[in-house]
Amino acid sequence: MLLCVELIAYLKGWHFSPPSVELAEAAVERAYAKWLEIRANYLAPPLQSLTNLCIILFLIQSVDRIVLIVGCFWIKFRKLRPAAAAEYVGRENVEDYPMVLVQIPMCNEREVYQQSIAACCIQDWQKERMLIQVLDDSDELDAQLLIKAEVQKWQQRGVHILYRHRLIHTGYKAGNLKSAMSCDYVKDYEFVAIFDADFQPGPDFLKKTIPHFKGKDDLALVQARWAFVNKDENLLTRLQNINLSFHFEVEQQVNGVFINFFGFNGTAGVWRIKALEDCGGWLERTTVEDMDIAVRAHLCGWKFIYLNDVKCLCELPESYEAYKKQQHRWHSGPMQLFCFCFVDILCAKALLDERCKGE
């Protein structure tokens, strides 16, 4: 009905000289005049307020981006980067190497499981001090058999690698990781490195990340940068590469240097197992379990380090459908997590203020 009224008003030229309710003669003219009053008195004010709010948020975001860019230039100018307190190059003593658990969560991965498993199995780390868990949540029998056969192949080569398959697939990736951390032998390990099925860490990944934990008992996470093997595949992958490069090069690097906190990317990172246990472990309450555990760890006082020069190869979504699915999870999950953590963040800030006053 309103569309018809608007169309008649346009044909009669009323949008140039709007009629008033008092002077309107025809019923359509009076209806259009009344609709104009409703728009001006009831619809325009909240829309104007919403517009002003959007402008304020845009300005805040713009200032944030400018600060991040300035911080990035400062880091490059001063050549600031995290320094490792230990090196494992040339060490032959097995006891010098911490116990590291490597986890590869996957689900129906037919195309990339071989590359990811192989990349983890050839890590330049003492074999006696490393255990690889292939956490297969596949619900297709042929995919399970392929992954299990790949694991057995590396077991025959002397690699300490296990295949785990859950009968009840609850909680998606968070439930998969939570189930793996409940194994009795996990207590013997100090660190856990996590790689998604499409990630291929370099052979020296552990030797470049683990040393940063030496002498830093409050350090929970060492996060590496993503590098994309298919960044030039099409226009979509090129745009994603630009966007994610800004995220890693600017956002995470600046936050890592100046704040010691950033969101865990869910893969290509090494966690201190004690920190995971201290903040409650993996929870199945949200689709962004990586950001969830990072926030909870930060609220518990743990710190993070981002290594911009340590890269882990992975693939970008090449189709629009895959990209849309990924972005939906990345954007809806943080809002869901905000609802869960808002009160905890306020309480943590209040406790911090009380401690500052006490000191």
Q: Are residues 50 and 101 in the same domain?
A: no
259: domain CATH number is 3.90.550.10
* Cα distances (Å, whole numbers) of residue 206 to 16, 133, 222: 70, 16, 10
Q: Are residues 147 and 243 in the same domain?
A: yes
Q: Are residues 37 and 131 in the same domain?
A: no
In a domain, 193, yes or no: yes
Of 180, 189, 333, 330, the closest CA to residue 271 belongs to 189
In a domain, 72, yes or no: no
pLDDT, tens digit, 9 for 90 and up, residues 3-25: 887 788 788 777 677 777 766 67
Torsion of CA 91, 97, 100, 104, to 10 degrees: 0
Q: Are residues 43 and 111 in the same domain?
A: no
* pLDDT bucket at 358, cuts 50 / 70 / 90: low
In a domain, 241, yes or no: yes
Cβ density class 295-331: b for 16+ within 10 Å, e for less: bbbbbeebbbbbbbebbbbbbbbeeeeebeeeeeeee
Query: Which of 40-49, 187-196, 247-256, 317-326 shows the highest mean pLDDT?
Result: 187-196
**What type of residue is 332?**
S
Q: Are residues 102 and 178 in the same domain?
A: yes
The pLDDT value recorded for residue 93 is: 80
Domain count, the chain: 2
Q: How far apart are CA 193 and CA 276, in angstroms?
A: 12
In a domain, 175, yes or no: yes
In a domain, 80, yes or no: no
Q: Are residues 250 and 339 in the same domain?
A: yes
Mean residue pLDDT across the chain: 89
Q: Are residues 103 and 43 in the same domain?
A: no
Q: Are residues 161 and 281 in the same domain?
A: yes
In a domain, 145, yes or no: yes
The pLDDT value recorded for residue 202 is: 95
pTM (2 decimals)? Answer: 0.84
Q: Are residues 290 and 209 in the same domain?
A: yes
Residue 135: give the domain boundaries.
97-352
In a domain, 197, yes or no: yes
Q: How far apart are CA 117 and CA 89, in angstroms?
A: 24
Q: Are residues 52 and 185 in the same domain?
A: no
In a domain, 81, yes or no: no
pLDDT, tens digit, 9 for 90 and up, residues 207-222: 999 999 999 999 999 9
Q: Is it the case that residue 167 has pLDDT exceeding 90?
A: no
Q: Are residues 189 and 51 in the same domain?
A: no
Last residue of a domain, one of 59, 77, 108: 59
Q: Are residues 253 and 202 in the same domain?
A: yes
Query: Which of 36-50, 79-93, 147-161, 334-348 shows the highest mean pLDDT?
Result: 147-161
Q: Which residues are catalytic?
A: 137, 290
